[in-house]
Chains A and B, each alone.
Chain A
Amino acid sequence: MASDRGGGTSQSCSGPSTGLVPSWAEDPNPADPDPILPANLDRAIVGQGDVTEAGALDGLARLKHLSQKEALDSKAILLVLLAVAVVRASRKSRSTAAYRPSFILDMLVPYDRAQDMHANLAELYPVWVSRHGARRAEWIHRTQVALLIGGTWWEKLLSTGERLLKVARLIGS
């Protein structure tokens, strides 16, 4: 299918296929005079369900009808790999940007308190995402959950200790 879109066949290659060169690179088409521009890279990879380096290279080759020499140009390949990394990062960022309530918080904190904590964290989560990115925001969220659980139990421990101290003082006096 790739060769159909490329507008040529691998028969135009000068040498036999070694298996190391991708199929799209064996399809030279010097009729396209456009240079390889970074602006075209996103067009090359948009519309592909699974964003992979090979898929992006294939898309770029189909789009630009690259010759073997052009396709193997290191600059073009580096740009494609960069574009793939950017698309992957942005997709991952979008997919993890939604707040996910922590199951551990529900387990270890009283229900009403946990609901309030979730509501507060859900309000702060988008701020962390915009400020630090999705991955760091996720870590901040996890740390805050741990702190909230620890704080809840520490509070309980302190209030129990204070009560015991009061009782001990009453008994002592």
Chain B
Amino acid sequence: MLGKLEEEVLLAALQAGDGALPSEIYARMEAASAPARKVVAFGAVYTTLGRMAAKGLLTEKNRADGANRIRRTFTVSALGSRALAESMNRIRALGGFALAGAAHG
């Protein structure tokens, strides 16, 4: 079962695409959050990415950037996609999406 932050990180990583940098994933999370809402810290997201890669929810690869620095990139694994789908299904079964639609509408 995924935590709330893990869910958000997986969704942002899916949006960012394959081989996304932590800063790209974080930027997507920041952009998606409401202006008044406190955004989760980058340090927490970075640590979560590492933990999720260790669990197998994300696959981690290293690549060198323009400045010859080794950058960690993350891609959502099959296990991560399944876990996310299960989590979304659970939310849908409990009427979470309908509630979100009602709140916005």
Residue on B nearest A120 in the bound complex, by CB: B23
B51 within 8 A of A: yes
Question: B65 — which chain A residues lie within 8 A by C-beta?
Answer: 119
8 Å CB interface, A148-173 against B: 148, 150-152, 154-155, 158-159
Task: Digitize A116-129: 1 where CB-to-B-CB distance is under 8 Å, 0 elsewhere.
Answer: 11111101100100
8 Å CB interface, A48-62 against B: none
Q: How many Å from the CB of B51 to the closest CB on chain A?
A: 7
Contact of B42 among A144, A152, A155, A159 (CB under 8 A): A144
Task: Digitize B26-47: 1 where CB-to-A-CB distance is under 8 Å, 0 elsewhere.
Answer: 1100100000000001111011
A144 to B69, CA, bound (A): 20
Contact indicator B70/A112 (Cβ below 8 Å):
yes
Contact of B69 among A119, A143, A151, A158 (CB under 8 A): A119
Known: A123-B23, A151-B47, A159-B54. A116 touches B71 (CB 8 A): yes
Question: B67 — which chain A residues lie within 8 A by C-beta?
Answer: 119
If A127-B27, A144-B41, A145-B43 are given as contacts, then 19 extra A-B residue pairs at C-beta distance below 8 Å, sorted by A number, are A112-B62, A116-B69, A116-B70, A119-B69, A119-B71, A120-B21, A120-B22, A120-B26, A120-B42, A123-B21, A123-B23, A124-B42, A127-B30, A147-B44, A148-B46, A151-B44, A151-B47, A151-B50, A158-B51
Residue numbers of B with Cβ under 8 A of A are: 21-23, 26-27, 30, 41-44, 46-47, 50-51, 54, 62, 65, 67, 69-72
Contact of B27 among A115, A124, A151, A158 (CB under 8 A): A124
A123 to B50, CA, bound (A): 19
Total A-B pairs in contact (CB under 8 Å)? 62
Chain A interface size band reads 20 to 34
Known: A120-B22, A123-B23, A124-B23. A150 touches B69 (CB 8 A): no
| Chain B interface helix/strand/loop/mixed | helix
A120 to B42, CA, bound (A): 9
Residue on B nearest A148 in the bound complex, by CB: B43
Question: A152 — which chain B residues lie within 8 A by C-beta?
Answer: 47
Q: How many Å from the CB of A99 to the closest CB on chain B?
A: 12
A119 to B72, CA, bound (A): 10
Can you list the 7 inter-chain pairs with the closest CB atoms, starting with the nearest?
A: A147-B43, A151-B47, A123-B23, A120-B23, A115-B69, A148-B43, A144-B43
